[in-house]
Structure 1
Amino acid sequence: MTFQIMTDSTSDLSQYYLKKNHIEILGMTVTVGNQTYETIGEEALDNSTLLTAIKKGATVHTSQINSGQFLEVFKKYALAEEELLYLAFSSGLSGTYQSALIAQNMILEEFPNAKITVIDTLAAASGEGFIVEEVVKLRDAGKSLTETLKVLADIIPRLQSRFMVDDLNHLARGGRIPKAVALVGTMANIKPLLDVDPAGKLRQVTKVRGKKKAINQMLEKTLEEMDTAYPRLVISYSGTDEVAQEIKKQAMQKNGISDVDVRPLSPTIVTHTGDGTIAIFSISRQSRE
């Protein structure tokens, strides 16, 4: 390998994929009621347990990865004199990126020649995972870290993340969207569509009446703007995968789409979205506006 890749548990990547591709990972924690769960490893919280607790009215919240956790991992690679690239959850949604920068600065004070690179993906969930997967392809093709960073500078601003959340009150409670936007979502069958803006924050794009119409609009917009040099989509969901699989079926019938992955959202993300969330990720021709 030309360099080591690291990410966090919000990226929706499976343990199998992470292990197969030698990716270092740190996990946020999720607190359900009075019990705190890990989001990686054999004892990781699963979505079924989490969603059941949410439906029963349990109080849930997440905790970001702290600087001490980053410091421990970064030091390991500094001592080994290995290049490490950490791809972080959006700084617009969490303080995890800032924690990583603090740890990076501490390492560089002790090991001035350490090669620890921290990149803000400005993405969430499988959008972050999408970026990680592209980096894996580059690394495995023998690209250097410098070459990889040039590609990241190009594709990160063009990563499109579109969300439809059944119950926006979860996002409002966590401060991810304004309460006024959540209020609209409680009106009769009105589905606000969200995306991730250039600063990596969630924003409302439009409002659509009806879930089916909202999903169709998300898919149509994605396909309309997609860069054919990256002919793949990632569809994420919370709860059951029936809707996500139907979107995949529709997408695969379109010309130019050769790869559509369906995967569950991570518990860290589901804590803030609840059940019934659908998200579509792609690389578009132009940067987010």
Structure 2
Amino acid sequence: MSKFILSTSSCADLTESYAKEHNIVCLPFTFLIEGKEYPDDFGHSMSYTDFYTKVRAGEPSTTSMINAEAYEEYFKSAIAGGLPLLHIEFSSALSGSYQNAKNVADKMNGEFGEKRIYVIDSLCASRGLGLLVDYAVNMRDADKTIEEVAEWVEANKLNLIHWFTVDDLNHLRRGGRLSRASAFFGSMLKIKPVMDVDDRGRLIPHFKVRGRKKSILTMVEHMQMDIKNPDGQTVFICHGDCIDDAEFLKAKVLESFPTIKEVAIHYTGPVIGSHSGPGTLALFYMGKERYKD
């Protein structure tokens, strides 16, 4: 029997089957498209393919973080049975949700006179957060205490490597990552950025390569340089409705590291996808350290 409850948010981009199998609660962010707000709920309210079809057609999508009231309601119900709670949240550099969760947890723990709710700023995004949660799941299931798991997550979260590329530079322009001129000329020249999440949890462009295939191979090349102990590792991939590219990336990863335990692929959900766009492709694994220019 689990000694504690484990939860995260929908920005972990876990599959519903995984969340159910491992008893993980994924609190939903929300997104607004065509004038209507939807929860990011494993594609039930709007399927992943419908979302990306709308965005490809030019529909803008905006997102909203989880507010303090939603955290308080969930935290109270989660610990009502007497078990403590470990909540691992989306990078604080990309959303205010972590701070909302921490403020609520600090307030409730103060009222209890003891620490029952642990909230961690993952400094991770998308399935990088999901993979960090997977490590916590494995430790929980190995009978580690909540303190041991929280300590391990804090000590190792910056070794969770993220590599991203996108197909359409205009989504980065809208998010302030590129100027209008850079996006225009980059698209004309088929320039693809390769980005990571840095030690402060920010999405940082590092390389500009020509062509989609080269951007994918660049991610694998960096994985070859900085993966740590690949034998038996689980690797996560996510994609913005570009499954063929995700399968190509998976094949290249397994070609380079045949002793990896599993390469699990899933969609980039609509909250992350609202900012990165269709054609986003990302690779996540445990490495030596995050990239430094």
Name the TM-score, length of structure 1 as normaliser.
0.93
2:260 is equivalent to residue 281 of structure 1: no
Alignment of 1:78-117 (within 5 A): 78-117=79-118
Tell me by how many angstroms 1:103 deviates. Answer: 1.3
Which residue matches 1:35? 36
Q: Answer whether contact 1:159 1:288 (CA < 8 A) is retained.
A: no
Counterpart amino acid of 1:232? T
RMSD: 1.9
Tell me by how many angstroms 1:97 deviates. Answer: 0.5
Which residue matches 2:236? 234
Which residue matches 1:250? 252
Q: Answer whether contact 2:198 2:290 (CA < 8 A) is retained.
A: no
Change in Cα spacing, 1:15 to 1:204, as seen in structure 2 (3 Å) is: same
Measure the CA separation in 2 of the matches of 1:78 and 1:92. Answer: 28
The gaps in structure 1 that reach 5 residues or longer are: none
Identify which range, 250-259 or 123-132, moves more after superposition: 250-259
Measure the CA separation in 2 of the matches of 1:158 and 1:119. Answer: 15
Change in Cα spacing, 1:114 to 1:258, as seen in structure 2 (3 Å) is: closer
The gaps in structure 2 that reach 5 residues or longer are: none
Change in Cα spacing, 1:82 to 1:172, as seen in structure 2 (3 Å) is: farther
Which residue matches 2:58? 57
Counterpart amino acid of 2:27? L
Count of paired positions:
288
Q: Answer whether contact 1:169 1:179 (CA < 8 A) is retained.
A: no
Q: Answer whether contact 2:194 2:215 (CA < 8 A) is retained.
A: yes
2:145 is equivalent to residue 144 of structure 1: yes
Which residue matches 1:10? 11
Tell me by how many angstroms 1:99 deviates. Answer: 1.0
Measure the CA separation in 2 of the matches of 1:146 and 1:164. Answer: 35
Measure the CA separation in 1 of the matches of 2:102 and 2:144. Answer: 24
Change in Cα spacing, 1:43 to 1:236, as seen in structure 2 (3 Å) is: closer
Which residue matches 1:179? 179
Identify which range, 35-44 or 123-132, moves more after superposition: 35-44
Counterpart amino acid of 1:82? L
Q: Answer whether contact 1:11 1:129 (CA < 8 A) is retained.
A: yes
Measure the CA separation in 2 of the matches of 1:85 and 1:151. Answer: 12
Name the TM-score, length of structure 2 as normaliser.
0.92
